[in-house]
Amino acid sequence: MRSDLRVLMSMVVLDCRPAARPAGSSQGPAAFSERASRFDGSGVCDTVATLWRATGRAQVRLADTTMEVISDSVAQRGCAVQATAPQGLDSAQWASLYWANSAWVKENVRGWVTRMEYDADGPDGNSRTFERQSLRCQVDFSQDGGDDSDSTYVPSPAVGETTFCWLNAS
């Protein structure tokens, strides 16, 4: 099973490329524009969505949108993937989602650089910004971090992640 997952991940990461989405598809609400002004980084969003769907436990939305990002003072236009797994993910499923950097490889073979000056971390989630050439992606992760003041509190297993990618002008 693990080798099948590794093959799938390799194929997805190596084969991600821009491709037009069908009009009215379930990959985003009708309010979002079609890919007429598609930017070069949308293949990353397609890859992230595919990896989340491969877990078999996530609800995934993929769309073009404009968002405010930590690393810039103006809203950016790009693509976004919103994934939620209400029942959580096991460790193998979770490990399959590391698309930008690999925890098992010392050097960054995928070419993404972590922009640590934009990192944020807390008990209920974190935010990371990655960059490769002129493309940036902000990944916001959320979870129920629990309640340290209540030893009887059982945190929800639900996890969520929003990945937003855009062309960085600077």
Which pLDDT score is estimated for 15?
A: 36
Residue 58 reports pLDDT greater than 90: yes
Which pLDDT score is estimated for 121?
A: 92
- DSSP β-ladder status, 125-132 and 120-122: antiparallel
Locate all alpha helices (DSSP H) within the chain, ordered by sequence.
2-15, 42-54, 91-95
> By mean pLDDT, which of 6-10, 97-101, 124-128, 133-137 is the weakest?
6-10
The 10s digit of each residue's pLDDT in 3-53 is: 343 333 333 333 333 344 444 334 433 333 333 344 567 899 999 999 999
d(CA 73, CA 62) in angstroms, rounded, equals: 24
What global pTM score does this model have? 0.73
Which pLDDT score is estimated for 128?
A: 92
Task: Please return the burial class of 23, using the count of CB atoms within 10 Å of its CB with bins 0-12, 13-18 and 19+.
Answer: exposed
How does residue 109 score in pLDDT terms, banded at 50, 70 and 90? Answer: low
Residue 59 reports pLDDT greater than 60: yes
CA 46 to chain centre: 10
- What's the chain's average pLDDT? 77
Mean pLDDT of 143-165: 93
**Which has the higher per-residue pLDDT, 137 or 94?**
137
For the chain, what is the domain count?
Answer: 1
Q: Which amino acid is at 68?
A: E
Domain limits for position 86: 2-105+112-167
